[in-house]
């Protein structure tokens, strides 16, 4: 179309849409003008005016037809018809408030829950990393060749430097590691400054440049030249007030001045979108031992790389693996007990970890809720459409085409779905805010979870699809009405309703089947979580507060007697705080995830490795009593167990079984790695699960702090109530001994540690149980709605039955039998699907079989009770029909 044509037609079409009445008046005037002109011409030729009008109308071809042709030429008929259908649908909804409210609420629950879970899945799993060409970024992970030790893929600096120098598949290879420093806030109080150590080319690999200043240089990777820092945007704003002249100034880290060389842009953080983003980025500070392969195996660095153009992940993995084999042959003593192999994975996969498995499980569960909601609304639409058959028949009799009727009904369903989506989005906004605090700690990219434009677009698209989905069947069914039956029947049941009844029943059966799958899943996860919590930790971890102290030269960090004296003074100070029942010092703590595993020599036998080595804990005598560890035999540690006396140890039952099978361990001797004197076993305590209820019990030893040397101190205190309420007084007591004492990291209770260990299972169980309840309620509403509709449609039949002698009990049982058939079919189909898909949930279960018949029996009993409960009201309504009143109305 030529531009001149566009300049004419576009304004005309817009005017036709938004100023329809004025356009219609202009059309009437134009048609009248043409008719009057033609009439005047015929009159001028000698015709009478009446005869001339008739002739003009015949030649014109019909006024209304010409108007329709003109309207068609505007090409806005479909839009105009859509507007009329929208207005009509809104009037229809206003006339049926009960139907509208139930349908909107059902859709809002389904769409709101789906949007909430999708927002989490999208932020954590689906959203690409916020870097240029993220598909070319990979993580290079090093794992044991024979699975000899649990590793997270980290590598040593020596290996990384060899990779960076020799690998040709990468455009760039960098590494990072977590770290923390002690500093002071603007008020001068001690604080922990979170950091990420990055190699000099890290920012070049992810293609992000500092907003101010410069990146690190390769020379600054070496210890002695490494005291430079790049600030995060948040730390720059918080500590320096956003001062643009910050580059060149210093920031105190561990009481040492570090030069600020740059500031990262807002929104950048690595690791990506963590709940506690780093404050600063610093160079690695590689020392001499990190540059030469000796005895130090410091596996704390994670390597990431950008693949070269045209290089696949498999090609890069093959090259890294070949280099790993070559390095193992070159340095056979570097990792004794089993070689290391390296491979590449997409960085996105490495960042999200195992989160996709359980997140997609929840997304699948919430999708079932949405399907149940759609089936329920489709049933409501069908029931309402049956009542509207006379109306639809009249519209068809007046000339409405099948397509026009179907479009009108689809517009109603789409409007209903969009209304449900609007309410669902409000629920989703509230749901995301409610769910975020419950998310498992450490969930990657959790900080970026939000209802943003991407999630909104997905929700609206899903709403349109849902609207068409549940509205299509009623639209197709009613777009070809039986005019005579509809008008004669007056909306009552006719013989032609058999197909409609079957469709209603099929939808109810599908709702019940989907609900069975949800409820079975909820029961499985609930039973699994109950089994997990029954195991417990083996000791009383409630009302325990612990504070980790950073050991420095000014805080008794000299070691030996000086360090022990300092620790005892700290313990005495906090033990005197009001509200502290007892205190102790230990390291490391159970449930914290930290451990010190050491080799053990018993006689001539050596036990080495994580599986058989002993977990080594240095404790003060009060520790076993503070944690209320169960003493089985022997005695606790005492104040008499000091330096210069007989070296003693308390072990757990697992260590006794492993090291002295079939013998009495009490009174035996063992030699701990790097110690020169054997220790005498003076006590045996019960087994505790120091690594959480899911982890196996390991051999453990408790050695008096006075007979050892600890690099740091962890104060453990038992309180009668909330431990965190005593924290300010505990800190004041610590600083009364040493005002320079730093408190490392965050302060937690052991209850919080336990919550972290079971948080993911609790989260999955809670949400799936919630989805199961919602799905079950919606399915029950569907059963109720269908039976209520069928009772209303069969009122005349029921009246005749009762007039001929049928009892109220018989009618009641008739309706209940119908409900039993629908619910029973749904349960049978749902059980089959649940039995099949339950195997996929095996990875999420703990000490419970996915096909446990007791779980299935309990779930089916709940579904059966809900279905029959939903049928009671319609059944009682049918049994209370008055034959005389019903027949008179017929």
> For residue 660, what pLDDT is reported?
93
Residue 491 lies in a domain: yes
In this structure, are 431 and 501 located in the same domain? yes
DSSP-derived 3-state class of residue 440? coil
CA triplet 400, 404, 406: central angle to 5 degrees? Answer: 120
DSSP-derived 3-state class of residue 633? strand
In this structure, are 310 and 378 located in the same domain? no
Cβ–Cβ < 8 Å for 197, 220: no
State which of 307, 336, 365 marks the end of a domain: 336
Mean pLDDT, rounded, for 654-673: 91
Beta bridge partners of 139: 304, 345
In this structure, are 575 and 724 located in the same domain? yes
> For residue 647, what pLDDT is reported?
92
DSSP assignment letter at 544: E
Residue 141 lies in a domain: no
* Relative orientation angle of helices 20-44 and 49-60, to the nearest 10 degrees: 130
State which of 24, 55, 75 marks the end of a domain: 75
- pLDDT of 330 higher than 80: yes
Asked whether the CA dihedral 305, 308, 309, 314 is positive or negative, the reply is: negative
833 vs 45, which has greater pLDDT?
A: 833
- pLDDT of 495 higher than 50: no
Residue 348 lies in a domain: no
Give pLDDT tens digits for 70-82. 555 555 556 667 7
Closest CA to 851 of 834, 864, 829: 834
> SS3 for 628-655, per residue?
CCCEEEECCCCCCCCCCCCCEEEEEHHH
Tokens for 247? 């580059």
> For residue 251, what pLDDT is reported?
92
In this structure, are 653 and 709 located in the same domain? yes
Give pLDDT tens digits for 598-645. 888 898 888 887 778 888 888 888 888 888 888 999 998 988 888 888
Residue 546 lies in a domain: no
Give pLDDT tens digits for 377-419. 888 888 777 767 777 777 666 666 677 777 788 888 889 899 9
Beta bridge partners of 399: none
In this structure, are 503 and 378 located in the same domain? yes
In whole angstroms, give the CA distance from residue 657 to residue 659.
Answer: 6
In this structure, are 46 and 195 located in the same domain? no
In this structure, are 253 and 310 located in the same domain? yes
Give pLDDT tens digits for 869-878. 988 888 888 8
Cβ–Cβ < 8 Å for 234, 216: no
In this structure, are 155 and 205 located in the same domain? yes
Asked whether the CA dihedral 398, 404, 408, 409 is positive or negative, the reply is: positive
**Domain membership of residue 731 as a residue range:** 553-739
Alpha-carbon Rg for the chain in angstroms = 38
Closest CA to 107 of 488, 311, 372: 372
- pLDDT of 741 higher than 90: no
Beta bridge partners of 281: 196, 230
In the chain, how many domains are there? 4
- Taking CA atoms, 446 is separated from 112, 123, 574, in Å, by 19, 7, 36
Mean pLDDT, rounded, for 19-24: 59
> For residue 832, what pLDDT is reported?
93
Residue 845 lies in a domain: yes
In this structure, are 735 and 761 located in the same domain? no
State which of 336, 366, 385 marks the end of a domain: 336
In this structure, are 275 and 300 located in the same domain? yes
What spatial distance separates the first Cα and last Cα of the chain, rounded to whole Å?
Answer: 62
pTM to 2 decimal places: 0.78
Give pLDDT tens digits for 415-459. 989 999 999 999 999 999 989 888 888 788 888 888 988 899 988
101 vs 280, which has greater pLDDT?
A: 280
Give pLDDT tens digits for 815-847. 888 888 989 999 999 999 999 888 888 888 888
Cβ–Cβ < 8 Å for 828, 527: no
pLDDT band at 533 (very low <50, low <70, confident <90, very high): confident
Helices (H) and strands (E) in the chain, counts: 27, 24
Residue 283 lies in a domain: yes
Name the residue with tokens 């104060």.
715
> For residue 185, what pLDDT is reported?
74
Mean pLDDT, rounded, for 197-204: 95
In whole angstroms, give the CA distance from residue 738 to residue 293.
Answer: 40
Mean pLDDT, rounded, for 487-496: 46
> For residue 80, what pLDDT is reported?
65
Name the residue with tokens 């440049």.
209
Q: For 257, what's the count of Cα atoms within 13 Å in the CB-facing half-sphere?
A: 4
Tokens for 446? 């959790």
DSSP 389-446: HHHHHHHHHTT--HHHHHHHHHHHHHHHHHHHHHHHHHHHHHHHHHHGGGSPTT-TTG
Residue 574 lies in a domain: yes
In this structure, are 319 and 404 located in the same domain? no
Give 264's contacts (C-beta < 8 A, 6+ positions apart).
208, 210, 211, 230, 231, 232, 233, 281
In this structure, are 786 and 856 located in the same domain? yes
In whole angstroms, give the CA distance from residue 869 to residue 784.
Answer: 9
Residue 785 lies in a domain: yes
Cβ–Cβ < 8 Å for 114, 370: yes
């Amino acid at each position: 179309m030529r531009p001149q044509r566009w300049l004419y037609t576009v304004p005309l079409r817009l005017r036709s849409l938004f100023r329809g009445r004025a356009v219609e008046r202009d059309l009437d005037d134009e048609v009248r003008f043409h008719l009057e002109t033609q009439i005047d011409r015929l009159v001028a030729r000698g015709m009478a005016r009446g005869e001339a009008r008739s002739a003009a109308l015949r030649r014109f071809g019909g006024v209304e037809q010409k108007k329709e042709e003109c309207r068609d030429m505007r090409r806005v008929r479909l839009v105009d018809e859509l507007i009329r259908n929208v207005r009509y649908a809104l009037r229809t909804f206003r006339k049926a408030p009960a139907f509208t409210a139930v349908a909107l609420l059902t859709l809002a629950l389904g769409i709101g829950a789906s949007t909430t879970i999708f927002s989490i899945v999208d932020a954590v799993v689906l959203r690409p990393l916020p870097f240029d060409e993220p598909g070319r970024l990979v993580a290079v992970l090093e794992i044991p060749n024979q699975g000899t030790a649990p590793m997270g893929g980290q590598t040593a600096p020596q290996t990384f430097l060899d990779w960076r120098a020799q690998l040709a598949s990468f455009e760039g290879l960098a590494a990072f590691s977590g770290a923390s420093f002690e500093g002071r806030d603007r008020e001068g109080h001690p604080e922990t400054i979170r950091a990420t150590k990055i190699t000099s080319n890290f920012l070049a690999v992810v293609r992000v440049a500092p907003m101010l200043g410069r990146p690190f240089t390769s020379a600054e990777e070496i210890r002695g030249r490494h005291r430079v820092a790049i600030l995060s945007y948040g730390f720059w704003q918080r500590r320096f007030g956003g001062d643009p002249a910050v580059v060149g100034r210093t920031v105190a880290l561990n009481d040492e001045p570090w030069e600020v060389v740059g500031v990262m842009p807002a929104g950048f953080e690595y690791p990506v979108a963590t709940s506690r983003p780093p404050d600063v980025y610093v160079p690695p500070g590689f020392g001499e031992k990190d540059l030469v392969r000796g005895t130090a195996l410091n596996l704390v660095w994670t390597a990431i790389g950008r693949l070269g153009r045209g290089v696949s992940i498999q090609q890069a993995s093959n090259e890294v693996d070949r280099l790993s084999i070559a390095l193992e042959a070159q340095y056979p003593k570097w990792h004794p007990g089993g070689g290391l192999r390296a491979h590449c994975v997409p960085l996105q996969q490495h960042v999200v970890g195992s989160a996709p498995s359980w997140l997609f499980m929840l997304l699948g569960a919430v999708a079932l809720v949405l399907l149940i909601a759609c089936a329920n609304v489709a049933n409501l639409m069908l029931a309402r459409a049956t009542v509207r058959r006379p109306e639809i028949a009249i519209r068809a009799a007046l000339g409405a085409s099948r397509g026009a009727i179907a479009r009108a009904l689809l517009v109603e369903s789409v409007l209903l779905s969009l209304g449900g989506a609007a309410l669902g989005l409000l629920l989703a906004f509230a749901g995301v805010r409610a769910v975020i605090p419950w998310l498992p700690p450490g969930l990657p990219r959790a900080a970026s979870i939000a209802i943003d434009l991407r999630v909104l677009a997905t929700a609206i698209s899903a709403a349109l699809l849902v609207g068409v989905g549940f509205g299509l069947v009623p639209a197709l069914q009613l777009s070809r009405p039986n005019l005579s039956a509809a008008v004669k029947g007056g909306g009552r049941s006719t013989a032609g309703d058999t197909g409609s009844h079957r469709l209603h029943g099929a939808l109810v059966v599908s709702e019940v089947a989907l609900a069975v799958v949800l409820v079975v899943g909820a029961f499985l996860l609930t039973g699994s979580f109950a089994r997990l919590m029954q195991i417990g930790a083996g000791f009383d971890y409630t009302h325990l507060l612990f504070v980790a102290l950073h050991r420095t030269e000014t805080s008794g960090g000299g070691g030996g007697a000086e360090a022990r004296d300092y620790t005892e003074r700290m313990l005495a100070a906090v033990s005197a705080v009001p509200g502290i029942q007892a205190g102790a010092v230990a390291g490391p703590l159970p449930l914290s995830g930290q451990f010190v595993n050491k080799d053990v020599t018993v006689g001539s036998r050596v036990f080495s490795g994580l599986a058989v080595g002993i977990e080594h804990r240095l404790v003060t005598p009060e520790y076993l009593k503070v944690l209320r560890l169960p003493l089985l035999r022997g005695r606790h540690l005492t104040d008499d167990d000091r330096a210069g006396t007989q070296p003693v140890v308390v072990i757990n039952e697992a260590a006794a079984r492993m090291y002295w099978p079939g013998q009495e361990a009490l009174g035996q001797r063992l030699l701990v790695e790097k110690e020169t004197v054997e220790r005498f076993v003076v006590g045996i305590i019960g087994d505790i699960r120091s690594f959480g209820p899911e982890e196996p019990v390991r051999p453990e030893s408790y050695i008096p702090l006075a007979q050892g040397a600890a690099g740091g101190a962890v104060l453990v205190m038992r309180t009668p109530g909330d431990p965190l309420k005593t924290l300010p007084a505990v800190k004041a007591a610590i600083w009364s001994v040493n005002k320079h004492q730093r408190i490392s990291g965050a302060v937690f209770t052991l209850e919080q540690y336990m919550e972290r260990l079971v948080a993911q299972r609790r989260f999955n169980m809670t949400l799936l149980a919630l989805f199961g309840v919602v799905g079950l309620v919606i399915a029950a509403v569907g059963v109720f709605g269908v039976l209520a509709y069928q009772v209303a449609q069969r009122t005349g039949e029921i009246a005749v039955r009762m007039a001929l002698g049928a009892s109220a009990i018989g009618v009641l049982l008739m309706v209940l039998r119908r409900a039993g058939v629908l619910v029973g079919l749904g349960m049978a189909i749902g059980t089959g699907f649940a039995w099949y898909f339950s195997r996929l949930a095996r990875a999420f279960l703990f000490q419970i079989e996915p096909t446990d018949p007791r779980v299935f029996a309990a779930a089916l009993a709940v579904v059966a009770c809900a279905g029959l409960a939903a049928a009671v009201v319609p059944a009682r309504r049918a049994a209370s029909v008055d034959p005389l009143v019903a027949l008179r109305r017929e």
